[in-house]
């Protein structure tokens, strides 16, 4: 396990910093990921580490940017230290879908596949159980 796990997980309130999945419903700890990947010049400092569920971490990979479908411009993915989640995303309570409210939000929802069928089903259950958002 990453030696920074406790610090990063506590800071994230044990939620994925991208899709806000609650770590408590999984039978294993979430992953510590590099917001700016080492491959792209990132570092191992705490400010560059985020708690991520397996789905978000795998889909993000070394990506840091994407094309916004509305403006057709390249923008950065959501950065948990520089962007506020509430300003970029909105949860649709009935469907469980996460809507991107800004170019950053839209690109991140698409790049991380935040609204896959399994995630929507899980998110609907988490909402009913009071575990999300």
- Tens of pLDDT, residues 40-67: 999 999 999 999 999 999 999 999 999 9
Residue 45, in any domain of the structure: yes
Q: Are 40 and 78 in contact (CB under 8 A)?
A: no
- Cα 59 from Cα 61, distance rounded (Å): 6
Residue 133, in any domain of the structure: no
User: What global pTM score does this model have?
Assistant: 0.95
Residue 89: what pLDDT?
98
Whether the predicted pLDDT of 121 surpasses 90: yes
Whether the predicted pLDDT of 109 surpasses 90: yes
- Cα 9 from Cα 95, distance rounded (Å): 27
- Kindly state the average pLDDT of the residues 54-83: 96
Confidence of residue 32 (pLDDT cuts 50, 70, 90): very high
Give the count of domains, the chain: 1
Strand intervals (E) in the chain:
31-34, 49-52, 65-67, 74-76, 89-91, 98-100
Residues of the domain holding 81: 5-128
Residue 102, in any domain of the structure: yes
- Kindly state the average pLDDT of the residues 65-79: 96
Average pLDDT for the chain: 96
Of 65, 56, 31, give the one whose Cα is nearest residue 123.
Answer: 56
Who contacts 102 (Cβ-Cβ below 8 Å, separation ≥6)? 87, 88
Q: What percent of the chain has pLDDT over 70?
A: 100
Residue 1: what pLDDT?
81
Confidence of residue 111 (pLDDT cuts 50, 70, 90): very high
Residue 16, in any domain of the structure: yes
Residue 121, in any domain of the structure: yes
Residue 105: what pLDDT?
98
Residue 72, in any domain of the structure: yes
């Amino acid at each position: 396990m990453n030696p920074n796990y406790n610090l990063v997980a506590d800071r994230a309130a044990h939620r994925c910093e991208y899709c806000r999945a609650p770590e408590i419903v999984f039978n294993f700890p979430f992953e510590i990921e590099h917001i700016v990947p080492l491959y792209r010049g990132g570092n191992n400092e705490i400010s560059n580490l985020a708690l991520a569920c397996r789905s978000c971490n795998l889909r993000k990979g070394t990506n840091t940017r994407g094309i916004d479908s509305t403006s057709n411009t390249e923008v950065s993915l959501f950065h948990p230290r520089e962007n506020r989640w509430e300003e970029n995303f909105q949860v649709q309570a009935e469907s469980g879908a996460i809507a991107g409210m800004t170019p950053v939000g839209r690109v991140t929802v698409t790049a991380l596949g935040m609204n896959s069928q399994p995630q929507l089903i899980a998110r609907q259950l988490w909402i009913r159980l009071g575990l999300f958002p």
